[in-house]
Amino acid sequence: MISTARSLGIVAAVLLGAGAMLGCGGGAANGPPPATAASAEDDDATAGLMEHHRHHHHGGVTLFIAMSLDTLGISPEQRAAVEKLRTELLARMEPSRAAEQTLVTTLADGVAAGSIDTARVDAALAQLTAAAAAVHDASADALNQLHEVLTPPQRAALVDKVQAHWAVWRRANTDESEGTKPEGGRLATLATDLDLTPDQEGKIRAAVAEGMRAVPLLDPQEITTHLGAFGDAFRNEKFDARALKTASGANEHLVGWGGAHMAHFVEAVSPVLAPDQRARFAERLREHASHTPPSAQANP
C-alpha cells in the first residue's frame, strides 16, 4: 500500500508535472529534476493545496477546473484565450466566493469576540450552498469554449488534474472526530500554528466529534460519479457542459458539506482557546477569507 505522503506526492506530481510536459512539448531530453528537489517541491505544493482546499469550497468542481488551468501547459497561441476563459470562470464563481467570504469572516469575528453567532453562520451557510448550486449552469458557456480551445492531450490532462484536486480535497477535509490523527490534518496543522497543549487537542477532538453530528454525512460517491461523467464527456471530441445533469447537485453537495464541516470545526475549537490563541486563529481565518487561489493570480 502506498503511504499517505507518497500518495499525496503523486497527486502533486499530477498537478505540477503534467503541465510541465505539455508546456515543453513532452520534452524529457533534459531529464527530471533530482529526486530530493522534486520531493521537496511536491511536499510544498501538496501542503499548500491542502491548506487551500481546507478553507475554500465555493466553486466545487468548477473551482477544481479553474485551478487546474494554472499548470496545464498552455501554448503561447492559446494563452490569451485560456486566460480569458479562466477569468470568466472566476467571475461566474464570484457570488459563491463572496458568500464563502461572508461565512469565514463571520466565523473569524465570532472567534475574536469569544462567542460565535450560530444564526448568522447558518444563514451564511445557506447562502453559500444556494450560490454553489448555480455555479455550473452559469459557467457552462465558458466550459464549452474551454473544450474547444484545448487539444485532446490537454483535455485529458485537465481531467487528471481535476481528479487530483478532488483527492487532495478529500484528504484535507478528513474527519478527525473519531480519534484519528491524519498526517497534515486540520487539527494537527492548527496545533502547530496555535501551539495547542495536549489537553487542548483532546478537548477539541472531543468537541469536534460531538459537533460533527450536526453535519450531514458527505457522500463522496456523488462527487466521484460526477467527475467520471465530466471526464468521459470532456475527453470526447464533442462536449456540452449543460448535458452534465450531475454537476449542480455535486457542486451543491461538495460546497455545502465543506462549508458546514469548516464551520463546525471552528465552533468546536474556539471555546477551548486562550485569548491570544483566539486572536491568532481569527487572524488566520481572515487571511483565508481574503485569499485568492494561485490560479487567479498567475498566467497559465
Q: 244-292: per-residue pLDDT in tens?
A: 999 999 999 999 999 999 999 999 999 999 999 999 999 999 998 887 6
Question: 77: Cβ–Cβ under 8 A, 6 or more apart, which residues?
Answer: none
Written as nine digits, the cell of 299 is 498566467
Q: Which residue has the cell 477532538?
A: 205
Q: What is the C-alpha to C-alpha distance for residues 259 and 91, in angstroms, rounded to an integer?
A: 20
Report pTM: 0.81
Q: What is the C-alpha to C-alpha distance for residues 9 and 102, in angstroms, rounded to an integer?
A: 33
Residue type, 179: G
Q: What is the C-alpha to C-alpha distance for residues 141 and 144, in angstroms, rounded to an integer?
A: 5
pLDDT in tens, 174-217: 765 445 555 567 888 899 999 999 999 999 988 888 877 777 88
The predicted model gives 67-79 an average pLDDT of 91
**What pLDDT shows up at residue 26?**
32
**What pLDDT shows up at residue 20?**
38
Q: With contact defined as beta carbons under 8 Å apart, do 165 and 49 qualify? A: yes
